[in-house]
Amino acid sequence: MTETYIQENYEAKPTVVIGRLAEINFPITKSLRSTQPFRTTHLLKNMKTATFPTGIICIATLFQCIHSYAAVPPDYRGVPFDDAAYREEQKALAEKKKPLPGDFVPAQIVWDSKTAVVGSGWIGQGTASSIALTEKDAEGKRFICYRSKNYKYESFGWNWAKPEDPAVDLTKFDAVSFAIKASGRRVAEELFFTVTELNPCPISLRDYDPKFDDGAWHTITIPLADFKWALAGKVTDRTEVRGFTFMAYTWRGSDDEVDLDHFALCRSANPQATAAQLPAPVVRATTGQAIPGRLECAFYDLGGEGVAYHDTDPINVLSGVLNQQKNHQRPAANPYYWNFRKDEGVDISYTKDFADFNHPNLFDPPVNQLYIGAANDGEWCNYTVDVKKPGKYKIIALYGFGANVIKFSINNVPASVCKLPVDTGSFHKWNKAEVGSIEFKEAGPQLLTFFYSRNNYAYFDFEPMDEQSKP
């Protein structure tokens, strides 16, 4: 039980550096919601410019849902989170059939062990890791082989073409497929697939083949309709592709090998049947969480990295990794809780019997309370809120761990600096207390940005402080 408890603590989350960061185009706390795309240049072996991943719905659907709000900055492209719509989407996705053999047929082989004569691999951060072609086997094949040791999180990839070579336009295809074999003493609990390091949002291989890590070869096919592209990205992220990226995560430190082969771009064998399997877009009508009232931290806006939030790595290491383990799928919960927004970068979990209720709390949180956890300094989330009345409000927080400073801005203007009053001594020992105040100068939809530090955050209650702001 001790090991399981530590796994949800902040210390279990690694600091992620993808390559060596060479340039940030503008300060991280200012212009991430500007009209210009958020771009970060990385010096990697593939020498590409990467952008950050998106949120829960694909870009085409997101554009259909954007509304114009009077008080929200006009260049903000996020959308208020709608929990009822989210539940409907997850139900539709659960009922959607996974690709079957024969649903997609290869249309273009971009890399194959039989014919591979060019290409290069890269490693995101692990100096003890390697990626290279194997020696030829009896059939003359050379596989891509990635070896890793003692890393909890690492990205790696293979480029089949050089920057000056012709690229692939993914918009002309329906799926991507590849063969993979994962083996070793400590194989990654989760292995994610994406195109570049940060775009689109990484896709868990376990969603398409739960047994990918059994040491045998598996062919995995991922429909391109399942990709969630970055709203802050560029069209060329999809139209000029020269390689693919994987992200491996293990809680105990890696000691494994991943072999890759036969990267193919596919087209649907039956386009009409494929289209029929796609869930219909859910209409979102919410204007945001109401103030006065409770702001659920996990209900940050849709829009993805650089628009709705900033996280230091593109993987939700709690819902997307930790809570995919059977012992973290608690009897009192259900898939809504342990899968909550698992395809986005913000790290979210829920309160559990063995982690949050097996000791005295300063204040007991609700059972299955969703919260932002595994937080790093400098991360933030945006919330479109519906302010019923202008005025001053006190802020009451339900949080765990250190007596740290947090900040809020309203419509991109600094509005409040708050101090968590008590160090609870543990990320899973909770306290509820007044932490500061904030003033909303006008009613209606507002953009509230929450800048946080290394704590667990469940919710904030905004209570009126004067007659003007009382309902």
Burial class (CB in 10 A: 0-12, 13-18, 19+), 392: middle
Strand partners, 414: 409
Helix (H/G/I), strand (E/B), else coil: 329: coil
d(CA 265, CA 309) in angstroms, rounded, equals 31
d(CA 442, CA 342) in angstroms, rounded, equals 34
d(CA 471, CA 223) in angstroms, rounded, equals 49
Candidates 281, 346, 396, 263; CA nearest to 53 is 346
d(CA 279, CA 354) in angstroms, rounded, equals 36
- Residue whose structure tokens are 């003033």: 439
Residue by residue, pLDDT tens for the chain (471 residues) are: 322 222 233 233 333 322 222 222 222 222 222 222 222 222 222 222 223 233 222 222 222 222 223 368 888 988 999 999 999 989 988 887 777 878 999 999 999 998 766 789 999 876 678 999 988 888 888 999 999 887 778 899 999 988 899 999 999 999 999 999 999 888 888 899 999 877 888 999 999 999 998 999 999 999 998 888 877 778 888 999 999 999 988 877 778 899 999 999 999 988 765 655 655 556 666 889 999 999 999 999 999 888 999 998 889 999 999 999 999 999 999 999 999 999 999 999 999 999 999 999 999 999 999 999 999 999 999 999 999 999 999 999 999 999 999 999 999 999 999 999 999 999 999 999 999 999 999 999 999 999 999 999 999 999 999 876 666
Q: Cα 216 to chain center, whole Å? A: 28
Q: Which two tokens stand for residue 163?
A: 């920057």
Burial class (CB in 10 A: 0-12, 13-18, 19+), 36: exposed
d(CA 459, CA 315) in angstroms, rounded, equals 22
What local confidence, expressed as pLDDT, does residue 16 receive?
Answer: 32
Ramachandran class of 325: left when φ > 0, alpha when ψ lies in -120 to 50, beta otherwise: beta
In a 13 Å sphere around the CA of 193, the CA atoms on its Cβ side amount to 25
- CA–CA–CA angle 229, 235, 240 (5° rounding): 100
What local confidence, expressed as pLDDT, does residue 37 receive?
Answer: 27
What local confidence, expressed as pLDDT, does residue 153 receive?
Answer: 84
Candidates 144, 340, 315; CA nearest to 244 is 144
- CB neighbours of 84 closer than 8 A, spacing ≥ 6? none
d(CA 341, CA 318) in angstroms, rounded, equals 10
- Residue whose structure tokens are 């292995």: 191
d(CA 39, CA 49) in angstroms, rounded, equals 7
d(CA 372, CA 399) in angstroms, rounded, equals 10
| Strand ranges inside 367-468, DSSP E | 370-372, 379-387, 391-401, 405-410, 413-419, 430-440, 444-452, 455-464
Backbone angles phi, psi at 435, to 5 degrees: -120, -10
What local confidence, expressed as pLDDT, does residue 237 receive?
Answer: 87
d(CA 429, CA 269) in angstroms, rounded, equals 53
What local confidence, expressed as pLDDT, does residue 398 receive?
Answer: 98
Burial class (CB in 10 A: 0-12, 13-18, 19+), 34: middle
- What CA dihedral angle connects 343, 348, 350 and 351, to 10 degrees? 160
| Whether residue 292 has a cis bond before it, omega within 30° of 0 | yes
d(CA 28, CA 199) in angstroms, rounded, equals 18
d(CA 212, CA 181) in angstroms, rounded, equals 7
pTM over 0.85: no
- Residue whose structure tokens are 């329906």: 174
End-to-end alpha carbon distance in the chain:
47
